Structure 1
Amino acid sequence: MISPMIHTLLKISYVNKKLTRGFAMSFLFALFLGCADDSANNQGRSSNSSITSQTTNQYHGKKNQRIVGTRGTSGTVSGYTRRIPGSLLERHKALGTDPSDAIALWIEAAVLAQENKDEGWEALTELTLPLRNDPNWSKKDSNHYFVKKLKDPASNCFKSIIVGTSPENGYTFDHEKISIELTREAGADSNGHKYFIVSSGADSPRPIHLKKSNKTDLWYINAYSSIYVDVQSIIDENEERFE
């Protein structure tokens, strides 16, 4: 027969084993939770780092591209082409050292040509490098589509480049307030320095290439085929539409 003292000792030992086992299980469970929390925190930090990286990088643009303006603005608007007196070519000599002004003056020349004004045709010949040494450029097959747009007063591709025009207002503009909005510079290639300008009749900016004279520092248009692509038609508010 087991004495009362031995019986008591056995009970204490049994209880201690249960307590020890329970403590061990609790410790292992807490350790597991701690590891899980660390893993979640690491994933969170990794995710946050990725988001921060994406947020930081999304404004840098593509390689060799310079965003013109800040995050809060869509771009840089040129001054009015007629802010100084003179003919188109005289104003180009004064303002053409700035790419945005050179583009705006070229657009003014295009819309004047559409209005069948000699000044517009003459300025286009002088300000467009591929046309400068070819007095018969308007008769060449290679310029057929460009000339077709210039001779069509109803074509709005050039007018859409002017700030303030839109399909809703019929691409109307004030000749005294012609300006363009340049969104970014995309580096240089064989066609020259590439810029993107806003067209109110297109979903995305239109590219145009310029080159600068090493003697006068004046900018001239060199590649421009995207500028005379068709744009959105004029929107008539009174016309029935099905959407």
Structure 2
Amino acid sequence: MKRILCRTCCLMVLFLSAAWAAECEGALPRTVLEFEMRYRQEGTTPEAAAKLFFDGIFAYMDRSTRAEGRKMLALAMDERPDWDGRATMKLFADRMKSPKTAHIFRSYARGAVPENGYAMDPDNYELVIERTVAGHPKGLQLYLRSGGADYPRVIYMKEVNGFWFIADGSTVKVEVRPPRK
């Protein structure tokens, strides 16, 4: 009887979690568990994995979800949990933390341009992906359009066991034109 009750409870929790995740799909994940569930569903294409990477960035930028955002980005970049403590990641982490440079990351959302102060909704945005190019030694090149740059920025992606991860996303932190608003 205890086993049946335990299984029933586990199934209910699993069902409610799946229903909640489906309801929140598209919205910015708030926990690494929600992020991981979405990654398992969506991370099988480079475009979706890039979007999840930016979801992690926006979670990290929010002080209230920074700890979870750190874990999300570790997953998206296939990195160690303390990735933001490394000297090579300091500028990336500092720019995500600073309100003065938040516009850099918002500039990758469709419609976010200097004239509107890079206005965008982290819960409802779309990346502008110009093209992908295979065959580079670093991995698949995915070119992202920034509303504040003249040329697209490239991120490199790698596929591991059917899932795509960021191999090198260093160009997303490069400065863009300042907001005018």
TM-score after normalising by structure 1 = 0.58
Question: Within 5 A, what are the aligned runs for 1:120-159?
Answer: 120-129=69-78, 132=79, 134-155=80-101, 156-159=103-106
- The yes-or-no answer on 1:208 pairing with 2:152 is no
The 3-state SS of whatever aligns with 2:114 is coil
- C-alpha contact (below 8 Å) 1:109/1:124 kept by paired residues: yes
Match of residue 9 from structure 1: none
Per-residue deviation, residues 127-163 of structure 1 (Å, max 9, x unmatched): 103xx2x232212111111111121133122111111
* Counterpart residue type for residue 149 of structure 2: A
**C-alpha displacement at 1:84, in angstroms?**
10
Question: Within 5 A, what are the aligned runs for 1:72-151?
Answer: 82=26, 87-116=34-63, 117=65, 118-129=67-78, 132=79, 134-151=80-97
**C-alpha displacement at 1:120, in angstroms?**
1.6
* Counterpart residue type for residue 210 of structure 1: M
Match of residue 169 from structure 2: 224
* Counterpart residue type for residue 136 of structure 1: D
* Counterpart residue type for residue 59 of structure 2: L
**C-alpha displacement at 1:172, in angstroms?**
1.6
Match of residue 141 from structure 2: 194
**C-alpha displacement at 1:186, in angstroms?**
2.2
- C-alpha contact (below 8 Å) 1:115/1:153 kept by paired residues: no
* Counterpart residue type for residue 70 of structure 2: W
Structure 2 distance, partners of 1:195, 1:211, is 11
- C-alpha contact (below 8 Å) 2:154/2:169 kept by paired residues: yes
Instruction: State percent identity of aligned pairs.
Output: 26
- C-alpha contact (below 8 Å) 2:28/2:122 kept by paired residues: no
The 3-state SS of whatever aligns with 2:165 is strand
Structure 1 distance, partners of 2:106, 2:70, is 16
Structure 2 distance, partners of 1:141, 1:84, is 28
Structure 2 distance, partners of 1:153, 1:185, is 31
Per-residue deviation, residues 35-70 of structure 1 (Å, max 9, x unmatched): xxxxxxxxxxxxxxxxxxxxxxxxxxxxxxxxxxxx
Of the three residues 173, 182, 194, the one matched with 2:129 is: 182
Match of residue 54 from structure 1: none
Structure 1 distance, partners of 2:131, 2:87, is 32
Structure 1 distance, partners of 2:123, 2:60, is 16
Structure 1 distance, partners of 2:57, 2:82, is 17
Structure 1 distance, partners of 2:27, 2:45, is 14
* Counterpart residue type for residue 114 of structure 1: M
Q: In terms of Rg, which structure is larger?
A: 1
Query: Is the helix fraction higher in 1 or 2?
Result: 2
CA RMSD of aligned residues (A): 2.1
Unaligned runs of 5+ in 2: 1-24
